[in-house]
Structure 1
Amino acid sequence: MPRVLVVDDTLFMRVAVGNMFKEWGFEVVGEAANGKEAVELYRELQPDLVTMDVTMPVMSGLDAVKQIIPEFPDANIIMITALGQQRIIVDAIEAGAKDFITKPFEPNQLKMVVNNILGIYGM
């Protein structure tokens, strides 16, 4: 069962994304409300996958990626972004994020990106 860390500054998004993963049979091992918490939890939990909001207080998702990837080069991080944040997404991918999805999104869009990154087919 893949282990997931859900990172978003809004509780609503953490719950919504977390519920999607639970429905798909994933284990949500942690939630973080900012990039600093995300880095700390990643080190502690080393999940199989992270969904990372771009814009958050304390530390942005991009800065969190820049801290996680040098320590954990194989980290599977999916950026979750609002429209108009393409520049940040390019920076995040260059920093080592594996893919991105734009809000608002349908569960199947996220599922396709997750399955592609984890090499899961037929889910």
Structure 2
Amino acid sequence: MARVLITDDAAFMRMQLKDIISKLGHEVIGEAENGLIAIEQAKELTPDLITMDITMPEMNGVDATKEIKKILPGTKIIMCSAMGQQSMVVDAIQAGANDFVVKPFNMDRIKESLGKVLS
């Protein structure tokens, strides 16, 4: 079971992810609505895994991923973003993301990503 921090500026997306991740047997230990809060939460909670939206106010997911990887290099990060942002996939992977999931996602895709990243 992984301890997961969910980062997304949309409350309904956080709720949807929390529901899926919990049903898959993992523990959601925190939620953040932007990259700055994600960094603070990551320092405080030291999650095993972080789901990270790309486009958010204050600080985007790519910049937040870079910062978190500096502080907690062992933390796994799955980027979640809407269709049409494929150019950002490369940025995300270069920033240290371990996988990328396109919204809208379903339980199977999240399960597949978690399995890949946590194995």
Note the alpha carbon deviations across 1:35-79, whole angstroms, 9 max, x for none.
000000001111011100000011101110011111222210000
Aligned-residue CA RMSD (Å): 0.8
Look up the match of 2:93. Answer: 93
Look up the match of 1:11. Answer: 11
The answer to whether the aligner puts 1:61 opposite 2:73 as a matched pair is no
Amino acid at match of 2:82: A
Distance in 2 between residues matched to 1:104 and 1:27, nearest whole Å: 22
Equivalence map 1:23-102=2 (5 Å):
23-102=23-102
CA contact (8 A) 2:63 2:95 kept: no
Q: CA deviation at 1:14?
A: 0.3
Amino acid at match of 2:53: D
Look up the match of 1:114. Answer: 114
With normalisation by structure 1, the TM-score equals 0.93
User: Structure 2: 5+ residue runs without aligned partners?
Assistant: none
Distance in 2 between residues matched to 1:21 and 1:104, nearest whole Å: 15
SS state at 2:116 partner: helix
Distance in 2 between residues matched to 1:7 and 1:61, nearest whole Å: 8
Superposed structure 1 runs of 4+ greater than 3 Å apart: none
SS state at 2:57 partner: coil
Note the alpha carbon deviations across 1:70-117, whole angstroms, 9 max, x for none.
122221000001111112110110111101000111110011011111
Task: Number of aligned residue pairs: give it.
Answer: 119
Distance in 2 between residues matched to 1:48 and 1:33, nearest whole Å: 19
Distance in 2 between residues matched to 1:2 and 1:66, nearest whole Å: 21
